[in-house]
Structure 1
Amino acid sequence: MSPTFEKAVEALETRIGYAFRDRSHAVRALTHRSAVPGDRVAHESYQRHEFLGDRVLALVIAEMLFRAHPKAEEGDLARRLNQLVRKETCAEVAVALDLGVAIRLGPGERQSGGRRKEAILADVAEAVIAAIYLDGGYEPARDFVERNWRPRMDGLSGPLRDAKTTLQEWAQGKGLPTPSYEAIDRSGPDHAPQFTVRVSIPNGPTGEGRGKSKREAEMAAATGVLVREGIWSADHG
């Protein structure tokens, strides 16, 4: 580990509130595949850590929701879980902890703004969870998730059903076909793209939405239709 990267890991430990006994776990969690020769990607990049961290995160969030909402039905718990483990939420945590500055990237990813890409940030957040889990066990991993995801769990607002699900159920209730989504525009640099998506319901309403990802744009398009049709109020979302 280079002195510069070692300092980055030390600073990261302070930000995340966990000191690694074996820093090789942290190194792996912060190493993007672009920084590793092709035949060593599986062993030296964060891919395997991201896989494990995703599962640890889901378990901890499920446990948190189970305790916090003793009267909630399975469906409600599942929808809350989906909002908390999705890519956008993981990336928000990564930004809050400034994980981007510590990521090891290849030259191409560095030049294209990889430290700010939502997908990479989300993956690294999950990989860091796995690194803590592998280094210290479940308890410190759970503590890390609770510190960083609990405020987001407590702050969940709006409908538990997401906009796309609600619009599909509304269309079915009206005897209309399933809504379809089409990306009609993409603008902005690679590290900060903007997508425009059109949602269409044959013999029904259409709408457009914009977002930093296709999913976000789809949600915005569906939300616009739901608000315009009077199914949701304007402050939902």
Structure 2
Amino acid sequence: MAFVRNGDKGPTTTTKSTMDSLVKAISLPRPDLQPFDGDPIRYWPFIRAFDVLMSDVSDDNFKLTTLMKYCRDKAYDALQCCLMRDPSDGYKLAREILSERFGDKGTVVQTWVAKIVNRPKVDVAHLRQFSDDLSSCRETLDAMGFVGEIDNQRALRTVIDKLPRYLQTRWVREYQKIKSKGNQPNIGDVVDFIKSASKEANDPVFGSLITGSAISSTSSNDKSTVTNN
């Protein structure tokens, strides 16, 4: 609807709609941020959320103060020198320091891969957490163009080796199904497989059947090992 002068009758429908939208936007609560402690895995989610929070702020002094407020431990210590600068220079330097020390793509990739492949074996109780971590790892590396670091046969075998025995056996069958269709299993297949297994294990009605079976199987294997020794 075009803007039309309305004399002294008040704002037009278009103007009123725009004003209403602005009032609603101003009245919405600002999203809060989870503090950033210097963990490279959390750098990009943190900095993007911070930019959204500061999207309508132009005061560099306020930006720097807010950035310091949400930094902890190593990240906070690294920014102390920025407080001695002019606000504009200090804020620019703070962003550069955070990016260089905690946002380097190589560091983020290595940290994510290490978190996945160096973790201990996963029991049924922690299957959902493993599923969430693996999914986040895949999405992050894919967005950064480094998904190949986790999407190779050696890495996939390492991921499967982390799973409970019953899921390893099930994956072998799934693996053969994928290959029978002329495809090579990839990290997406593994993520979907573990996500589905996690949903089963955490089902409010029947999940306890899987949990109980896994515990029983582990106990039997332990007893067998003791007997054989």
Q: Same fold (TM over 0.5)?
A: no
Greater helix fraction, Structure 1 or Structure 2: 2
Greater relative contact order (CA < 8 Å, ≥ 6 in sequence): 1
Larger Rg: 2
TM-score tier, shorter chain, comes to: under 0.3
- TM-score in terms of structure 2 length: 0.23
